[in-house]
Amino acid sequence: MASDVVAQFFAWAPLVCLLAVALIAYFSLREQAAASPTLGKTYACASCGRRGKHEHMVPVSREGAVLWYCGRCAR
Give residue-wise pLDDT tens across range 63-72: 888 888 988 8
The more confidently predicted of residues 38 and 17 is 17
How many domains does the chain fold into? 2
Note whether 30 and 55 are same-domain residues: no
- Cβ 42 vs Cβ 53: under 8 Å: yes
31 and 44 co-located in one domain: no
Residue 26: domain span: 1-36
The contacts of residue 46 (CB under 8 Å, 6+ apart) are 60, 67, 68, 69, 73
Q: Kindly state whether residues 25 and 55 are assigned to the same domain.
A: no
Q: Is the pTM of this model over 0.75?
A: no
The pLDDT score that the predictor gives to residue 39 is: 62
CB count in 10 Å sphere of residue 71? 12
pLDDT band of residue 1 (cuts 50, 70, 90) is: low
Q: What is the pLDDT of residues 9-29, one digit of tens each?
A: 999 999 999 999 999 999 888
Residues 21 and 49 in one domain: no
User: Which of 52, 25, 32 has the alpha carbon at shortest distance from 41?
Assistant: 52
Classify residue 49 as left (phi > 0), alpha (psi -120 to 50) or beta: left
Do 32 and 43 have their domain in common?
Answer: no
Verify that 25 and 47 share a domain, yes or no.
Answer: no
